[in-house]
Chain A
């Protein structure tokens, strides 16, 4: 239930994701380079399996193995989710600019004029691609 699949990922992408996570896990333990080469050999020997059922089963076994061997305190990059600096700098979303006071907007007339123009163009593009929005029935 917690692991709802939200995107369609191909088998090769799942394999690559497993490989990357297992390499990072390996980095967290010890003797990285030697074991990384061994891991790569393990992935390579099953590279040419054409039967998708076998391939899927191998992938599942790999995921279980990774889960059992995961490090208790993996080293994470600062800005990635789970790292120390994640969410440290919040970039305000674009629509906040629309809520500026008119006196503040008057300080940047050219930019806001261009912004209105851009909004019009965006609406035109949207209606061209997806059609006009349906009128509310009532």
Chain B
């Protein structure tokens, strides 16, 4: 029984697991739970084979999974704290619609400016929070539509046309997103 368990754990260890599963893994200590956990991990690794990205946070989580399996082997049951910081949105490659990463005004600003800097037709040196799209950055109305679509994709909710035509600066976009997401700080 213990041999089969160790094999299962090493299999899960090879295919780096997703963050929520690893976090769930980290909170478990006893051997019975490890069996069900290994089964879920096996299922999870089958459902999402393409999450072998962003090695560092996951490796930390898998490291603690490995330590729990060792402890289980030694017969000690202990709750292990998850080692990943789920709030770092840069490292998650999968978008969860059930819970978004916690937003602050600063984070929204960074994301908006990043998306705008990645756009070809904008000169990143001229870009600032108060720069007007049409006048300062020389964008077209169709370019403006593309920028608004990029913002929709970034933040995950749709911006209707009536609101979109009023968002002519990055500062307006940041304020709009903060209003929609109810962020005041």
Interface, chain A (partner B; CB < 8 A) = 12-13, 15-17, 19-20, 23-24, 40, 43-44, 76-80, 85
Contacts and interface: CB of A to CB of B under 8 A. Distances in A.
Contact of B161 (A13, A23, A43, A79): A13
Contacts of A19: 142, 145
20 contacts: A12-B141, A13-B161, A13-B165, A15-B142, A16-B141, A16-B145, A16-B161, A17-B161, A20-B145, A20-B149, A23-B145, A24-B149, A40-B142, A44-B142, A76-B158, A77-B157, A77-B158, A78-B156, A78-B157, A80-B158
Contact of A20 (B97, B156, B157, B161): B161
Interface string B118-149: 00000000000000000000000110111011
B152 interface: yes
B157 A80 contact: yes
A55 B141 CA distance: 16
Contacts of A76: 158
Interface majority SS (helix, strand, loop, mixed), chain B: helix
A85 B142 CA distance: 29
Interface of B: 97, 141-142, 144-146, 148-149, 152, 156-158, 161, 165
A85 B99 CA distance: 13
A12 to B, nearest CB: 6
Contacts of A13: 161, 165
Contacts of B97: 78, 85
B30 to A, nearest CB: 37
Nearest to B155: A77
